[in-house]
Amino acid sequence: MATPTEHNKMAPAKATKRKITYRKTKARWHPSMQAIPVPGIRRMVNMAAEMEDVIHLSIGQPDQPTPAHVSEAMIDAIRAGQTGYTMDAGLPELLVSLRDYYSKKYDRELTTDNILVTSGATEAMYLALSATSAPGRQFIVVDPSFLLYAPLIRMNGGEVKYVPTKAENGHQLDPEDVIRAIGLRTFAVVLNSPNNPTGAVYPRSTIEAIVEECAFRGIQVFSDEVYDHLVLDEDETEPYASVLSCGTDLDHVMCISSFSKTYSMAGLRVGWVISSQGAIKKLRRYHMFTTSVANTPAQFAGVAALEGDQQCVRDMVNIYRERRDVITDLVNQTPHLTGYKPGGGFYIFPDLPIHVDASDVCLRMLQDTGVCTVPGDAFGDSCTNSIRFAFSASCERIEEAFDRIIPWMKKQKF
Ligand SMILES: Cc1ncc(COP(=O)(O)O)c(C=O)c1O
């Protein structure tokens, strides 16, 4: 046995001999992760983060403040110790508010069992799509559409069948195109009106035709209605066409919405699904195994939002309408862009000439002018020549952005 001194002498020699090897480990992700793309929005925003003096017409996030009474309700809830879990279906007070609100708005009888409160519309859409998508099932999705739908369908083995819309038609959806796309494997149609990224609002005739045909053929309609209040040209004779007001049966529809856009509460994360009691029962259980419950104080804020004065929403719509008019004019004045007048939300999605790669244009435009937008390929396959401009920025900022964009576009030779 070596003495302590000998041991010390030997120690360094031993240490140099021992080779430390790091085994390369490869994450064993589920193959479904391949369906998640690098979001086009992130690509642009990450690049903009390295730059100075950037004007963002990129992010789909309301820039208006959350109404004071809504924030106060959340703070009051925290002060009152309302920081625990709610019932898994949602805060009972919020379920009652949502029931009363929707029953009155669409003149139909709903119960609290028709509603599930979720962590934003994102969770609601996640539950609806991932609980139903499966190999052999086809989902009809409008192209372009919000970037969540297609990956969620594909992750679970379902197939996406795109139905394109065009800037020259104001990105309106022809219900006949949807009906023609229905085949033996069609399981569901995903709708979003007002639409992100196009701002198109579908008339009642479009939604009714699709909902009726789907109910007749036993096909589901998942309707993302997060922009339902941001209808900029609402007409007394034709109020907003929700799937809840375009058909009698709830077995074939899921209406998905949230407080994020209407009350500028995107970070508070409260949304919901409305459907048949059977569907909600199933989704409640799934919800327990995903996020368990939505944010409790934020649900109290939601009650205040629904039950409080709605002038804050009217004011916000007036602001977005003014911006929409300004940006529509500016897009029309911009060389190479083909615009239209979006009816809702806070987006416009004009085309560049057909052969032009908008991804390259958006990157160069950001580098040269400091205006950050999102290229069309973030939203589907058929719109690689389109650019999404979000008008969740003031009229002054929008004008400043186009003071940079217009001279830059004039110099482009496409
Ligand atoms: C069409 C659409 N649906 C859903 C969402 C997400 O909503 P939430 O914040 O309620 O999850 C967005 C957000 O941009 C959206 O544009």
The answer to whether residues 62 and 263 touch, using CB atoms and an 8 Å cutoff, is: no
**Whose alpha carbon is nearest atom 7 of ligand 1?**
121
Atom of ligand 1 nearest to the CA of 227: 1
CA angle 8–11–13, rounded 5-degree value: 130
Mean pLDDT of 361-382: 95
Closest to 275 (Cα-Cα) out of 243, 307, 300: 243
Atom of ligand 1 nearest to the CA of 258: 10
- C-alpha atoms less than 13 angstroms from C-alpha of 356 in its C-beta half-sphere: 21
Closest to 220 (Cα-Cα) out of 245, 197, 248, 254: 254
Q: Give me the percent of the chain exceeding a pLDDT of 90.
A: 86
Atom of ligand 1 nearest to the CA of 119: 11
pLDDT higher for 9 or 281?
281
Determine the Cα–Cα distance for residues 382 and 391; give it in Å rounded to an integer.
Answer: 23
Determine the Cα–Cα distance for residues 173 and 223; give it in Å rounded to an integer.
Answer: 14
Ligand 1 mean position to 226 CA, how many Å? 6
**Whose alpha carbon is nearest atom 13 of ligand 1?**
60
Determine the Cα–Cα distance for residues 180 and 94; give it in Å rounded to an integer.
Answer: 40
pLDDT at residue 11 tops 70: no
Ligand 1 mean position to 65 CA, how many Å? 17
Query: What are the CA-CA distances from residue 271 to residues 48, 90, 224, 266, 409 (Å)?
Result: 30, 10, 11, 10, 40
The answer to whether residues 372 and 48 touch, using CB atoms and an 8 Å cutoff, is: yes
pLDDT of residue 25: 65
Mean pLDDT of 373-401: 95
pLDDT digits (tens, 9 = 90+) for 169-215: 999 999 999 999 999 999 999 999 999 999 999 999 999 999 999 99
**Per-domain residue ranges of the chain:** 35-65+311-410, 68-307
CATH for the 68-307 domain, from 3.30.70.20, 2.160.10.10, 3.40.640.10, 1.10.760.10: 3.40.640.10
Ligand 1 mean position to 34 CA, how many Å? 22
Ligand 1: which of 260, 268, 270, 379 to mutate, judged by most atoms within 8 Å of the beta carbon? 260
pLDDT at residue 392 tops 60: yes
The dihedrals phi and psi of 344, each to the nearest 5 degrees, come to -160, 180
**Residues in contact with ligand 1 (CB, 6 Å cut-off):** 60, 120-122, 146, 192, 196, 224, 226, 258, 260, 266, 271
pLDDT at residue 271 tops 90: yes
Strand pairing of 253-258 and 220-224? Answer: parallel
Q: pLDDT category, 22, cuts 50, 70, 90?
A: low
pLDDT digits (tens, 9 = 90+) for 201-256: 999 999 999 999 999 999 999 999 999 999 999 777 788 999 999 988 899 999 99
Ligand 1 mean position to 391 CA, how many Å? 16
Hey, what CATH class is 35-65+311-410 in? alpha beta
Atom of ligand 1 nearest to the CA of 195: 1
Token match 């934020």: residue?
298
pLDDT digits (tens, 9 = 90+) for 61-102: 999 999 999 999 999 999 999 999 999 999 999 999 999 999
Q: pLDDT category, 374, cuts 50, 70, 90?
A: very high
CA angle 37–42–48, rounded 5-degree value: 150
Closest to 321 (Cα-Cα) out of 336, 343, 306: 343
Preceding peptide of 197 cis, ω within 30°? yes
Structure-derived torsion over alpha carbons of residues 171, 136, 221, 110, reported in degrees to the nearest 10: -160
The dihedrals phi and psi of 346, each to the nearest 5 degrees, come to -135, 50
Give the tokens for residue 56. Answer: 């963002």
pLDDT of residue 13: 47
Fold: same for 35-65+311-410 and 68-307: no
Ligand 1 mean position to 118 CA, how many Å? 12
Mean pLDDT of 269-295: 97
Ligand 1: which of 45, 98, 196, 391 to mutate, judged by most atoms within 8 Å of the beta carbon? 196
pLDDT at residue 368 tops 80: yes
Closest to 169 (Cα-Cα) out of 141, 198, 204, 140: 198
3-state SS of the chain is CCCHHHHHHHHHHHHHHCCCCCCCCCCCCCHHHHHCCCCHHHHHHHHHHCCCCCEECCCCCCCCCCCHHHHHHHHHHHHCCCCCCCCCCCCHHHHHHHHHHHHHHCCCCCCHHHEEEECHHHHHHHHHHHCCCCCCCEEEEEECCCCCHHHHHHHCCCEEEEEECCHHHCCCCCHHHHHHHCCCCEEEEEEECCCCCCCCCCCHHHHHHHHHHHHHHCCEEEEECCCCCCECCCECCECCCCHHHCCCCCCCEEEEEECCCCCCCHHHCCEEEECCHHHHHHHHHHHHCCCCCCCHHHHHHHHHHHHCCCHHHHHHHHHHHHHHHHHHHHHHHCCCCECCCCCECCEECCECCCCCCHHHHHHHHHHHHCEECEEHHHCCCCCCCEEEEECCCCHHHHHHHHHHHHHHHHCCCC
